[in-house]
Amino acid sequence: MKYLIQQVWLLLMIVSWSVCAQQSTKVVGVVKDKASQQPLEFVSVILLDAESKQPLTGTTTGVDGTFVLGVKKTNFLVEISFIGFKSLRLQPEVKNAYVNMGTLWLEEDAEQLEEVVVRAEKSTTEFKLDKRVFNVGKDLTSAGASAIEVLNNVPSVNVSIEGAITLRGGQGAQILINGKPSVIASQEGNALGTIVAEQIEKIEVITNPSAKYEAEGTAGIINIVLKKSEKKGLNGAVTLNTGSPNNHSIGLSINKRTQKFNFFGQLGVGKRTFPNTVSTLNRNKVANNEITSSGKGNKHEQFYNLSLGTDYHINDKNVITLSGNVAYEIEDEDSNMRFEEYANRILQAAYTRAEVTEATNPKYQYELQYKKDFERHKEQYLLFSALGSFFGKDQSSTFSNEVTAGTLASNSQRTRTDFKEARYTFKLDYVHPLNDQYTIETGAQYVLNDVSNDYAVSSLIGGNWIGNPGLTNVFEYYQNVLGAYATAAYEGDVWGIKAGLRVENTDLRTVLKTTNQEHTQQYTNLFPSVHTSYKVGTGFSLQAGYSRRIFRPRLWDLNPFFNIRNTFDIFTGNPNLLPEFTDSYELTSIHKIGKASVNFGLYHRYTTDVIEDVSFYNTTTNVTTRRPENFGTNAITGLEANYRWGITKWLTVNGDVNYNWFNRKGQFDAANNFDFNGTRWDTKATAKLKLPAQFDFEMTGNYQSSYKTAQSTIKSNGFVNVGLRKKLLQGKLIVNLGVRDVFATRRRASITDQPTFYSESNRARGRFFTLGVSFGFGKGEAMEYAAQKRF
Q: Quick: pLDDT tens for 240-292.
A: 889 998 889 888 877 776 767 778 788 888 898 989 999 999 999 988 899 99
Q: What is the pLDDT of residue 483?
A: 96
Asked if residues 143 and 768 have their Cβ atoms less than 8 Å apart, the reply is no
In tens, the pLDDT along 114-145 reads 333 333 444 455 655 556 677 765 554 555 45
φ, ψ for residue 786, nearest 5 deg: -95, -135
- Rounded Cα distance, 206 and 221, in Å: 5
In the chain, the largest separation of any two C-alpha atoms, in whole Å, equals 97
In tens, the pLDDT along 202-231 reads 888 887 788 888 888 767 788 887 765 555
CA neighbor of 223 nearest in space, from 262, 194, 192: 192
In tens, the pLDDT along 22-74 reads 457 888 999 987 776 777 876 778 888 888 877 788 777 876 788 888 888 88
Residue 749 burial (CB count, 10 A): 16
* Burial class of residue 710 in the structure, from the number of CB atoms within 10 Å of its CB (0-12 exposed, 13-18 middle, 19+ buried): buried
| pLDDT class of 161 with cuts at 50, 70, 90 | low
Euclidean distance between the first and final Cα of the chain, in Å? 40
Q: Does 430 have pLDDT greater than 90?
A: yes
Q: What is the pLDDT of residue 731?
A: 63
Q: What is the pLDDT of residue 631?
A: 86
Q: What is the pLDDT of residue 225?
A: 79
- Rounded Cα distance, 706 and 245, in Å: 29
- Beta strand 318-343 with 473-491 is unpaired
Query: What are the chain's domains?
Result: 2-108 (2.60.40.10), 233-433+447-477+525-785 (2.40.170)
CA neighbor of 597 nearest in space, from 552, 553, 539: 539
Residue type, 575: P
Q: What is the pLDDT of residue 86?
A: 80
Q: What is the pLDDT of residue 15?
A: 38
φ, ψ for residue 83, nearest 5 deg: -60, 135
> Residue range 672-682: average pLDDT?
87
Tell me if residue 31 falls in helix, strand or coil. Answer: strand
Residue type, 595: K
Q: What is the pLDDT of residue 580?
A: 92
Q: What is the pLDDT of residue 143?
A: 52
Q: What is the pLDDT of residue 266?
A: 80
Q: What is the pLDDT of residue 2?
A: 46
Within 8 A by CB and 6+ apart from 330, the residues are 301, 302, 303, 359, 360, 361
Q: What is the pLDDT of residue 695?
A: 86
Q: What is the pLDDT of residue 784?
A: 29
In tens, the pLDDT along 480-524 reads 999 999 999 998 878 889 999 999 999 999 998 878 888 899 999
> Residue range 312-326: average pLDDT?
87
Prediction pTM value: 0.71
CA neighbor of 222 nearest in space, from 128, 145, 157, 139: 157
In tens, the pLDDT along 545-577 reads 899 999 988 877 888 776 676 677 788 888 889
In tens, the pLDDT along 344-400 reads 889 999 999 899 999 999 988 899 999 999 988 878 999 999 999 998 999 999 998
In tens, the pLDDT along 692-749 reads 887 888 898 999 999 988 888 999 999 999 988 887 876 677 788 889 899 999 998 9
Q: What is the pLDDT of residue 197?
A: 65
In tens, the pLDDT along 298-310 reads 999 998 988 888 8
Q: Does 787 have pLDDT greater than 80?
A: no
Report which of residues 251 and 160 the model is more confident about: 251
The DSSP symbol for 220 reads: -
In tens, the pLDDT along 74-104 reads 888 898 887 567 888 888 888 888 888 888 9
- Rounded Cα distance, 712 and 612, in Å: 11
Within 8 A by CB and 6+ apart from 625, the residues are 570, 571, 572, 615, 616, 617, 618
Q: What is the pLDDT of residue 539?
A: 66
- Rounded Cα distance, 681 and 661, in Å: 9
- Rounded Cα distance, 569 and 443, in Å: 46
Asked if residues 293 and 278 have their Cβ atoms less than 8 Å apart, the reply is yes
